[in-house]
């Protein structure tokens, strides 16, 4: 039977993570699977709380669980990489790695559904679940790869333009059947270890956001598909660790990740084109807001923060030829830094 390493990443959500782990253990029944919890340098007592639970609570006794601590909070990708590099408890590599958000709760057959799909679809390197809220409302987690055209469409929010650029719209909605997609959100995703061995793990330059996009793009360029598996169901709360739903201003790490994604995968000229496209779309949207009195759709100062960030990034020396450059956006924790 194929062996699966389940990785659960915790950052200051110990009780939620333990709840997610209990659901994962139920979904691991009958599979040759082990679970590793990575505490991503929470520094809030999370590690001690989870260690106590694993040592004393009945549900954890005799279960294939390990708890490890990362010595730094390098973000989502880096934290998951710590778990992936931990391998199986005997030191060997698994056949598959399954990453599960700490606020995600797989149905009893969710992990098996992903495994069965990958076992019967060798062309697929990655497979992800149908994600829904605890209220059953589906979440959009299947996407196309971003491009300059998608930046224009997404920023403009204009019906005729969306219809014209429909093949570039990033969100795919909620697929009704299992299908190939470009990339998936990483709340519940199974990956072939052989593909990770070929293309590498998460790029740790990304602190948060765009890391799954980049990983799926690297897999696609190496000839491996990503599939959305409709009958693998996972409930997901969302934004528990990141606080995304409460953002009063776009954080610097999102801007960093966006620029890194475009410049890494499309070159500096491609990143500049994506920013100019977003600026054009953003101006179209803001003109509509003035005329039609529409509600704000972006965090305050989003467009100016984006342009300031990307101008600084654009004018940095190329890697290997530059010194650290730092600039702070007023009212944010953002610091532009040399990569």
Angle (CA) 150 238 16, round 5°: 155
3-state helix, strand, coil in the chain (%, to 5): 40, 20, 40
Cβ-contact 66, 34 below 8 angstroms: yes
Separation between Cα atoms, residue 13 and residue 104, nearest integer Å? 12
Looking at residue 249, its pLDDT comes to 87
Encoded tokens for 145:
């790869």
Among left, alpha and beta (phi > 0; psi -120 to 50; other), residue 328 is beta
pTM: 0.90
Separation between Cα atoms, residue 196 and residue 9, nearest integer Å? 18
Angle (CA) 132 133 134, round 5°: 125
Looking at residue 247, its pLDDT comes to 62
Classified as helix, coil or strand, 215 is helix
Which 3-state string (H, E, C) describes 24-54? HHHHCCCCEEEEEEEECCCCCCHHHHHHHHH
Q: What is the largest CA-CA distance in the chain?
A: 64
Classified as helix, coil or strand, 314 is helix
Phi, psi of 106 (to 5 degrees): -70, 145
Cβ-contact 106, 188 below 8 angstroms: yes
Separation between Cα atoms, residue 124 and residue 65, nearest integer Å? 28
Per-residue pLDDT 10s for the chain (339 aa) are 999 999 999 999 999 999 999 999 999 999 999 999 999 999 999 999 999 999 999 999 999 999 999 999 999 999 999 999 999 999 999 999 999 999 999 999 999 999 999 999 999 999 999 999 999 999 999 999 999 999 999 999 999 999 999 999 999 999 999 999 999 999 999 999 999 999 999 999 999 999 999 999 999 999 999 999 999 999 999 754 444 555 678 999 999 999 999 999 999 999 999 999 999 999 999 999 989 888 888 889 999 999 999 999 988 875 544 333 333 333 333 333 323
Could you tell me which of 232, 197, 203 has the C-alpha nearest to residue 217?
203
Looking at residue 332, its pLDDT comes to 34
Encoded tokens for 202:
């998460």
Separation between Cα atoms, residue 191 and residue 214, nearest integer Å? 14
């Amino acid at each position: 039977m194929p062996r699966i390493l389940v990785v659960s990443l915790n950052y200051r959500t110990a009780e939620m993570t333990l709840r997610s782990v209990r659901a994962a253990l139920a979904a691991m029944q009958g599979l040759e699977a082990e679970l590793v919890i990575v505490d991503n340098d929470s520094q809030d007592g999370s590690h001690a709380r989870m260690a106590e639970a694993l040592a004393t609570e009945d549900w954890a006794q005799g279960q294939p669980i390990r708890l490890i601590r990362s010595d730094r909070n390098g973000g989502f990708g880096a934290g998951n990489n710590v778990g992936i590099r931990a391998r199986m408890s005997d030191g060997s590599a698994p056949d598959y790695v399954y990453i599960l958000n700490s606020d995600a709760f797989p149905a009893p057959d969710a992990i098996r559904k992903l495994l069965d799909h990958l076992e019967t679809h060798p062309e697929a390197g990655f497979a992800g679940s149908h994600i829904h809220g605890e209220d059953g409302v589906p979440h959009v987690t299947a996407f196309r790869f971003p491009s300059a055209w998608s930046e224009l469409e997404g920023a403009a929010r204009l019906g005729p333009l969306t219809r014209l650029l429909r093949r570039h719209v990033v969100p795919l909605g909620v697929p009704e059947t299992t299908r190939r997609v470009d990339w998936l959100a990483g709340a519940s995703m199974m990956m072939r270890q052989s593909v990770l061995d070929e293309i590498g793990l998460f790029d740790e330059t990304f602190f948060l956001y765009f890391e799954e996009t980049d990983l799926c793009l690297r897999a696609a360029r190496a000839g491996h598909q990503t599939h959305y598996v409709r009958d693998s169901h996972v409930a997901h709360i969302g934004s528990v660790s990141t606080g995304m739903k409460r953002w009063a201003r776009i954080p610097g790490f999102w801007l960093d990740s966006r620029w890194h994604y475009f410049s890494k995968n499309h070159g500096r000229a491609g990143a500049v084109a994506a920013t100019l496209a977003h600026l054009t779309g953003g101006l179209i949207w803001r003109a509509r807001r003035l005329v039609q009195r529409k509600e704000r759709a972006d965090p305050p100062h989003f467009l100016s923060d984006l342009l300031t960030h990307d101008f600084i990034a654009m004018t940095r020396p190329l890697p290997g030829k530059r010194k650290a450059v730092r600039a702070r956006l007023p009212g944010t924790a953002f610091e532009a830094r040399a990569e």
